[in-house]
Structure 1
């Protein structure tokens, strides 16, 4: 569970940075582009990926992740602008249903009744943790499509990373290196399009912002993959603990750093999330 905890910490820090980015009018596409430059450098520095036997690489999985990762950043920003933070948050958190379903249909995982109870409690925690009565704003016509992309995209990314972690012909660090390169290329194309259409300008501070984002983004994905390798026979444990853990950590950061207020329902959600993590962990061992 240590890898899951480390991944949760990195994920929450990335979320905090994106929240601050909106406040300080940071160009998300430009920051995401530099984020992948740093992620590529860190992967090469720490793991020295061997670019051999690439003919056996899962091309479709790598290509899908290379496009989904940067594009989903942009979709998330658009979804927040058109539908509000609350609706987008719901779509992100409920995407947990997709990898859990994949645990049964794709990975053929056997779940005990105790773990099923933990998952159900976790779903209840997710629903209770959402600030139903605050924020969100009015959704514009057709904006539901962005929520659908967020929901499906987040779930598919989780499943694809699980499959990369279990792929034996190519080391997962090499796969990760290739994914980061493809993601950078995709983000670069998006940035060039915005630059040519004069919707953004090159800004040196974005290199620093993207660099910090890349370091934590690298840690998030790396530890997430390691958790899947350690708990290869229990993908739903990783899926559920990761998502619920982010909620708990995010709530604490919101209270301490951003002085956010919690309703009674939100407090119940935090308690249920902690209970769910305990039940799922106990059932796993």
Structure 2
């Protein structure tokens, strides 16, 4: 339970940091790249046993981390594009609704139990995510030409979570969680730096220290969001469908509450209903154990 709570806290802190990016006019792409490098170094530092970096390609999970690193960059850019074309609420819903994919994977591949309490809890959680994420009275409005982007965010986010669950269960040893996480971020960081170098060649890159600092601040909770999620998945307190559902809905709930407390955001009645349903959904899933 502690690992799950820390994963939720870490992911919620990512929301706070992104909010501060706009306040301090930090270049999101540049900060994201330095965030990956920071997360990579954290994984190396926290790795208990000595690692020969030349042997990392021999690990069973290594090829998957290459794919995950690429996905991290692609999904991030898709999220940015979706935000520009359809708004932040659309991204929030697409990202959090993607929990359906790892939940279905756990139920089918690992044959996890599916009680009435869990079904009700998952349904309530999905409704809660939608209601808590929509901050406009008119709800979500997406042009048909832009619909492909949130759909890709939905599948991209779901595939990332599902792959992490699969690797955690099949390939990653208990003591290798930090280096496993570090490798994912190393791949994403390498791709990100390549993009920045390309921008520099084109004369579109301008170095600013605040972007580096922003990346470091973001990288710390970003690393621990995955690190503690993997710990929660193997803690045994809930099966994977329960962990992913509680993790996602609690992040939305905590982020919404922090938005009120820290950024004076005004919530609609449906947002409050979403928070209430989030609590009920978590309770139903907890009772399903």
* TM-score of the superposed pair, with normalisation by structure 2: 0.90
Please list every run of 5 or more consecutive structure 1 residues that lacks an aligned counterpart in the other structure: none
- Could you say if the C-alpha distance between residues 265 and 184 of structure 1 is closer, same or farther in structure 2, counting changes exceeding 3 Å? same
Residue 252 of structure 1 corresponds to 257
- Give the 5 Å matches for 1:126-275: 126-131=129-134, 133-134=136-137, 142-168=145-171, 170=173, 171-231=176-236, 234-275=239-280
- Give the 5 Å matches for 1:76-87: 76-87=79-90
Give the total of aligned pairs. 284
Residue 18 of structure 2 corresponds to 18
Q: CA-atom RMSD, angstroms? A: 2.2
Residue 103 of structure 1 corresponds to 106
The answer to whether the 8 A contact 2:96-2:129 is kept is yes
- Could you say if the C-alpha distance between residues 204 and 134 of structure 1 is closer, same or farther in structure 2, counting changes exceeding 3 Å? farther
Deviation per CA, 1:234-282, whole angstroms, max 9, x where unpaired? 1001110000100110111011111111222211111110011112122
Residue 280 of structure 1 corresponds to 285
Deviation at 1:141, TM superposition (A): 6.5
SS class of match (2:111): coil
Please list every run of 5 or more consecutive structure 2 residues that lacks an aligned counterpart in the other structure: none
The answer to whether the 8 A contact 2:137-2:268 is kept is no
The answer to whether the 8 A contact 1:166-1:232 is kept is no
- Could you say if the C-alpha distance between residues 125 and 36 of structure 1 is closer, same or farther in structure 2, counting changes exceeding 3 Å? same
Residue 116 of structure 2 corresponds to 113
| Separation of aligned partners in 1, 2:226 and 2:258 | 20
| Separation of aligned partners in 1, 2:276 and 2:207 | 45
* TM-score of the superposed pair, with normalisation by structure 1: 0.91
| Separation of aligned partners in 2, 1:176 and 1:74 | 21
